[in-house]
Structure 1
Amino acid sequence: MPIDMDKVPEPEDAKAPRTAPEEIKAIPVRHFGRWISAVLAVAVLGLLINAFAQGKINWGAVPDYFFDADILKGVRNTITITILSMVVGVVLGVVLAVMRLSKNPVTSSVAWFYIWFFRGTPVYVQLLLWFNLGLVFEFINLGPIYKDYWASFMTPFLAALLGLGLNEAAYMAEICRAGLQSVDEGQTEAAHALGMSHTRTLRRVVLPQAMRVIVPPTGNEFINMLKTTSLVIAVQYYDLLQAATNVGQTSGGTVEMLFLAAAWYLVLTSVLSIGQYYLERRFARGTLRQLPLTPWQQIKANWFTFNHQGVAGGTS
């Protein structure tokens, strides 16, 4: 016998009036460890500031000599040797990376030996080696192209450039090799199937995709190179550290000028860090659905949120 659904009595719960669910009150978890670590960090920072404040340091000498002519000359030379050394390192590093991935065993072995030697010896030793080769070779003879005394040829600038640039090339070779290997082999095979040469495939297909892997560590190497230039004082190249040392000896503020040099290094590395951030952001296009906010965009977003909350709190 069919059941008439209209005569079926409704359950008691259905007759009761429906009420909105209660709002969930989320109680944030208290992290006492964060407060303790913050207090300890502030305490340690305060002790360090107090220690340096009580020391016999003429802090006024730092801003007084910050734009001194000798200091600015050292800054210019430091920037110059940094850029040129990185250019040598990047160009030679790309060549070594391609040689390392070559199917020719001789080419691959030569690149492997270069990387093994220059990564396995300290850059300070390499600088001294280039600068003191005049004790072994009296002349440099390149045939009809160039011939001169080694001491006249190997200037402090050239010794610094070779020591830093050739050493950097070994590290850049491994960075570039990792970037090239990150690109799927199908990309190369597809390019060859379309009739593209190996060089054109590398330039038009592989390298553009490998750059997003190569750029971040290259930026770190650039910053590290800026700080490594302080070692060129060993070959008598006039850099920022050499300038600060000379000014410190003449002014009697040796420690103050070292703090000045540290301040200049911080300024330069900060500028390079900002440039690295925007360069990485540019090469990240196409790989992320939404690019991360720039520092200026983050400040604007936080300021808008703060103002919005302030207005809402005032009107409530």
Structure 2
Amino acid sequence: MPARHFDRTVVRAVRRAAEIPQAGVGAAVSAAESTVAGWEAGSSVPDQEKLPGIARVLGKPLDELFPREDSPDLTDLRCDAGLYRYEVAKFIDTKSDGPVAAAESGVRRLKPKYVPKLAAAYGVSEKALEQAQERSFGNVVEEAGDASAAAAEAEEHPRALGEKISFLLAHSYPAGAAPGDGEIAEAVNRHAGAEVVTANEVEALRTGVGDADSPDPVVLEGLAEFFGVERMYFEPDEAVARQVYQGLRVLLASRNGKIGRVRARGLGPAGLSPEVLSLLTDLATQFEKQDGSADNE
């Protein structure tokens, strides 16, 4: 966690300049005078959750008194709101803080219904909360030559089936070499062993026309086989789609030499779930085989 920096000498100087006694600071943040004295002496440091209250009582902006170098994750947003984790259950109407604890630890994402409630409690936008959640899962990718990591992490992931197909077509093939709707339809039909989709229907899936977001399962299976991805990539589950999309971005950027670094702060060596890491391994093997075949031609 990119915790805020607590400088005891700065805090002591600011407090003395404002002529506020240690007892006054302690009363503002529910701490004993001796505890505040310990902070200023360097024998202990305050919880991150107490820093907003200290900044308020000393009359200084939080970012100025306790700077933080990196962008916040979910834990940081909660601490910036001055809330301990056990206090957040009431904001999302749950009996425990389990959902928030799991999201902060990079284990399980927040349910969509919790996002606006937590955003309001933390005093941030829903978009800022969702971006912080991605950081908690270690899925922020910085590409070489990109002057703004925030732009990369704020990039919208594909949601609709047509957007997912278009993403694969745009990123998995050299310019001008992407397969057409007819070729995709033929591959899906070969997989099914029968004509289950036409070129026109593939075009409808790709462009989102009509009932394109709910094709037969066998069509989704054929698409997954054709593009070399797991079937779950085409499922409507937002959490699954987001994880796979992040994984594909990592793999594709890596193949193009564009990865600067992947900040891992969740589970697994790259902050991704075991399922997605397995998917990346399979895809990497498949790409290596394809590259080897190309070299021999």
State TM-score, norm by structure 2: 0.25
Give the structure-1-normalised TM-score. Answer: 0.24
Higher normalized contact order (CA 8 Å, seq sep 6+, divided by chain length)? 1
Bigger radius of gyration, 1 or 2?
1
Structure with bigger helix share is: 1
